[in-house]
């Protein structure tokens, strides 16, 4: 059985590195990208099981991540946003929400819930 694959799209490099390492430490294979274009190039033959992204990422607007979702299939999405007001928007969009933080345990726990 293969490890679960997390597609992580985070434009801020320090956070991307932090989240990538934390998820890898939890046993996930992580495909990390700074934007949707890079994510599409990196996905290739490896289909992710879940996508973690910030919905307000200037480099990955809603239209782009919608295309990404279509390209890789209808996968679970976790919005990782610093904007608490996006919690209700996430609920309306049918996606999970995590308040962006350097506390990686919250993000890792939400990713794990995707597979429970």
DSSP the chain: -PPPEEEEE-SSHHHHHHHHHHHHHTT-EEEEESSHHHHHHHHTT---SEEEE-TT-TTS-HHHHHHHHHHH-S--EEEEES-TTHHHHHHHHT-EEEE--S-HHHHHHHHHHHH-
**Calpha distance 111→23 (Å, rounded):** 9
DSSP structural state of residue 55: T
Domain count, the chain: 1
Owner of token pair 């209808």: 74
Domain that holds residue 14: 5-115
Beta strands in the chain (DSSP E): 5-9, 29-33, 50-53, 77-81, 96-99
Q: What is the pLDDT of residues 57-106, one digit of tens each?
A: 666 666 666 666 666 777 888 999 998 998 998 899 888 999 998 889 99
Query: Which CATH number covers residue 57?
Result: 3.40.50.2300
**Calpha distance 115→79 (Å, rounded):** 16
Could you tell me which residue, 23 or 95, shows the higher pLDDT? 23
Whether the model pTM is above 0.85 = yes
């Amino acid at each position: 059985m293969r490890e679960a694959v997390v597609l992580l799209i985070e434009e801020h490099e320090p956070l991307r590195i932090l989240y990538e390492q934390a998820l890898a430490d939890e046993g996930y294979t992580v495909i990390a990208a700074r934007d949707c274009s890079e994510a599409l190039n990196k996905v290739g033959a490896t289909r992710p099981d879940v996508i973690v992204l910030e919905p307000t990422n200037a480099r990955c607007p809603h239209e782009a991540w919608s295309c990404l979702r279509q390209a890789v299939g209808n996968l679970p999405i976790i919005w990782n946003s610093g904007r608490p007001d996006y919690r209700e928007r996430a609920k309306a969009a049918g996606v999970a929400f995590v308040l962006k933080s350097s506390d990686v345990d919250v993000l890792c726990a939400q990713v794990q819930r995707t597979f429970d």
